[in-house]
Structure 1
Amino acid sequence: MTIAAGAGDNARPYLYGPEEAGVVEALRSGQYGHTAVTDRFEGEVATFLGVSETVAVASGTSALHVALLAAGIGPGDEVIVPSMTFCATVQAILAVGARPCFVEVSPRTLCINSGAVLDAITADTRAVMPVLYGGRAVDLCDVRPALTERGIAVVEDAAHAFGSYNGAQRVGATGALTCFSFGPIKNLTCGQGGMIVPRNPLEADRCRKLRGLGIVESAAWRAEATGYTVDGFGLRVQMSSLNAAIGSAQLAHFDKAETKRKALWRAYANALRGMDGASVVDVDVERSVPHLCAVRVHDRRDQVFRTLRARGVGVGTHYPPNHLQSAFAAWHRPLPVTEQVGREIMTLPFHQRMTEADVETVTAELRQSLAQTATR
């Protein structure tokens, strides 16, 4: 059997066409740092989300790093975070000198819930970092008053969730300090990049200074001046005009991404319904722009994974639990649900170049692989 081309990659970037012209225009300007092109992209994203302002940075990881610093998180502080996430989430916590407090996820959604958050709060808790796995929003509205009373910030890792809704509002517009990733395979790509949605103008100013080496003045102002002011610590994590140009072109076509990703996820969900040995992780597709399609393989995941890879099907694993990583061993605690999920999780090929025929091919291969491994 020949595997369809769309099934060979777990994820691939998707370009609409105008991205190339945007990059060429930015290249010809001769200015490749944070420029008016970046400012324009920030404004476009703010309008799309329905927020007053956004802060563009070099990556989703740097968005988390800067957001934690802007929220005042630092040495001695504890951040509640699910273990089921990409290691970048945890590295951002360590980068500010804080420590992770790993918590369980729901086995149905792979996201944290309010009960897990409340149970994990200690005297040192200063932030909660929900991870919007697969694009699904995490609603902590019922515990927000308790968190606010204790001075605990909510810093959303929304790397998967650009375009998704939390209730009637887009993720990023609900009052949390929200961080997006615009990496190569995200719902919207800048090639590489990230975005912070600050909670207020003061926090926005902090984020801007932190991303730009602590310099107070804008790049445009400095071009006309003989000096500048540094009033604190900062990083060099601005988004370049080249990346912003790609993002701006992508955003103009985001309705296509939203429609296609929802359709692909629904096609998978329908094809997987009732399949023996595997179940789909629910992303709440009516309100989400799915970033991936994850399944739990209930027995012999590793064998199924190897069989599918050998057949040319681009499956992946997102993610091995972080509390079991040697780098984070100091913060290990038993998390039986996460550990079980970690043994079962597998992501199916999911990108906008795929067709529903590709989905049928992948699910047929999965069904055959499950049957083969069950007989060994």
Structure 2
Amino acid sequence: MTVVTAPGGPRANARPFLYGDEITALARALESGQYGHGAETEAFERELAAYLDVPDVVAVATGTAALHLALLAAGVRPGDEVVVPSLTFCASVQAIAATGARPRFVDVDPATLCTTADHLRAALTPATRAVMPVLYGGRAIDLADVREHLAARDIAIVEDAAHAFGSVNGLRRVGATGDLTCFSFDAIKALTCGDGGAVVPRTAREAAILRRARALGIPQTRAERGAAVSYTVEGAGFRYHLSTLHAAIGRVQLARFPEMETRRRSLWITYETALREIENVTVVDLDVANTVPFTCTVLVPAPLRDEVHTRLRAAEIAVGVHYPLNHLQPAFRSWASPLPRSESLWRQILTLPFHPAMTANDVHTVAAALRRTLRLTTSTTYAEATAPDQDLDHLKAPR
């Protein structure tokens, strides 16, 4: 049974997808009486580690918490710099700011909307302590050309893989390539806990640091948890644990994840085929054979994008623009430097409705609406560009 939540189809840009068994799992967790971190959370961690083929996974409350803790585990401190693309959700930058470090914004590749090894290398300074590649849309990033250079300078790679659970990098899943990798399991992700996240640590020491920091700085072994003893606070910490209730949902989602991979890949391929022949539309490549797609993003000419967005929203096609550039945000302006390529690219981005409850008919509805809107917008723009300037009529000589 699938639990259907409104709105659906093209009227929602993204939405949760549940299989139905989550309700039974939640009831079981509620009946246990253990609602904080507990056995259900630890079972979820073990199952995630098995799926990713890694030694350990540390579950946390949100994807943002995952990024914050991963940066701290990597040794990022006040005064350090972290290289990050401007084109990302603001959570990436807020996590950097929470450590006291400074974001150093970089461009992305227009073909993938991901940063590249060359972008990262060019942005390094003596203050760089970490780089944060963002796996936009779920696509993995090949950093082979810069890994050795980063390691020689003791610069950590903290992957923002919020979009990319299940995607593949080479022969291994994202998260199993040796970096500190952070996932989000919020409501609209391919795997949802309702809200949640996880960090893949590089070492047992990092795992211990992460577990202590997510529990308000209190180190607890599994054997000690629940014992009637006083606790010790050994360092900085946060209330970042993943609750048993959220973990119960995540376990059901993970068990059914192969279905989600198939649904999302099929949906993206249907979109790519439907959009292929539409003039003035370029589909952002997600390397779908190796990606569990999170979005379907297209580029349309900058003079048309805003009008196309407005017209489609008015027609109840829930398009969006993901994401506003962070170096232009008021909160981050003090760290900004000009990024003309990102600014030009951002004016072309349009994200189409994309969620696994959509049907092939929904995709063709969106594609047809986009085609019609582009034709109308293009003709209107051309007419406006070639029309006489009525404001100057009073200056013309009388006939």
Q: TM range, normalised to the smaller chain?
A: over 0.9
Which residue number in structure 2 is paired with residue 368 of structure 1?
Answer: 372
The alpha carbon displacement at 1:5 in A equals 4.6
Post-superposition CA distance 1:234-260 (Å, at most 9, x none): 001100000000000000100010001
The alpha carbon displacement at 1:56 in A equals 0.3
Aligned residues: 373
User: 5+ unaligned residues in a row in structure 2: which ranges?
Assistant: 1-6, 381-399
Which residue number in structure 2 is paired with residue 310 of structure 1?
Answer: 314
Distance 1:263 1:195 in 2: 26
The alpha carbon displacement at 1:142 in A equals 1.8
Which residue number in structure 2 is paired with residue 165 of structure 1?
Answer: 168
The alpha carbon displacement at 1:218 in A equals 3.9
| Contact 2:61–2:196, Cα closer than 8 Å, also in 1 | yes
Candidates 42, 45, 61, aligned match of 1:42: 45
| Contact 1:35–1:219, Cα closer than 8 Å, also in 2 | no
| Contact 1:222–1:228, Cα closer than 8 Å, also in 2 | no
CA-based RMSD of the aligned residues comes to: 1.1
Higher RCO, 1 vs 2 (CA within 8 Å, ≥6 residues apart): 1
Q: Greater CA deviation, 238-247 or 4-13? A: 4-13
Which residue number in structure 1 is paired with residue 358 of structure 2?
Answer: 354
Moved over 3 A (4+): none
Percent identity, please: 57
The alpha carbon displacement at 1:222 in A equals 3.7
Distance 2:145 2:83 in 1: 17
| Contact 1:275–1:367, Cα closer than 8 Å, also in 2 | yes
Candidates 204, 208, 217, aligned match of 1:214: 217
Distance 2:378 2:356 in 1: 32
| Contact 2:312–2:373, Cα closer than 8 Å, also in 1 | yes
The alpha carbon displacement at 1:274 in A equals 2.9
Which residue number in structure 2 is paired with residue 55 of structure 1?
Answer: 58
Which residue number in structure 1 is paired with residue 242 of structure 2?
Answer: 239
User: For residue 314 of structure 1, what is the amino acid of its counterpart?
Assistant: A
Which residue number in structure 2 is paired with residue 122 of structure 1?
Answer: 125
Which residue number in structure 2 is paired with residue 69 of structure 1?
Answer: 72
Distance 2:374 2:118 in 1: 35
Candidates 330, 336, 361, aligned match of 1:326: 330
Distance 1:303 1:241 in 2: 45
Is 1:33 the equivalent of 2:31? no
Which residue number in structure 2 is paired with residue 266 of structure 1?
Answer: 269
Post-superposition CA distance 1:141-188 (Å, at most 9, x none): 221111001010000000000000000000000000000000000010
Bigger Cα Rg: 2
Which residue number in structure 1 is paired with residue 390 of structure 2?
Answer: none
| Contact 2:213–2:236, Cα closer than 8 Å, also in 1 | yes
The alpha carbon displacement at 1:338 in A equals 0.9
User: For residue 363 of structure 1, what is the amino acid of its counterpart?
Assistant: A
Post-superposition CA distance 1:101-131 (Å, at most 9, x none): 0001000000011111111110000100000
Q: Matched residue of 1:313: which SS?
A: coil
| Contact 2:8–2:15, Cα closer than 8 Å, also in 1 | no
Which residue number in structure 1 is paired with residue 110 of structure 2?
Answer: 107
Distance 1:46 1:275 in 2: 42
Q: Matched residue of 2:82: which SS?
A: strand
Give the TM-score normalised by structure 2: 0.92
Post-superposition CA distance 1:263-285 (Å, at most 9, x none): 01011111111311221111110
Distance 2:334 2:121 in 1: 22
The alpha carbon displacement at 1:337 in A equals 1.7
User: 5+ unaligned residues in a row in structure 1: which ranges?
Assistant: none
Post-superposition CA distance 1:23-55 (Å, at most 9, x none): 111011111000000000000000000001000
| Contact 1:80–1:103, Cα closer than 8 Å, also in 2 | yes
Distance 2:349 2:297 in 1: 7
Give the TM-score normalised by structure 1: 0.98
Distance 1:369 1:276 in 2: 11
Q: Matched residue of 1:223: which SS?
A: coil
User: For residue 309 of structure 1, what is the amino acid of its counterpart?
Assistant: R
Which residue number in structure 1 is paired with residue 345 of structure 2?
Answer: 341
| Contact 2:8–2:357, Cα closer than 8 Å, also in 1 | no
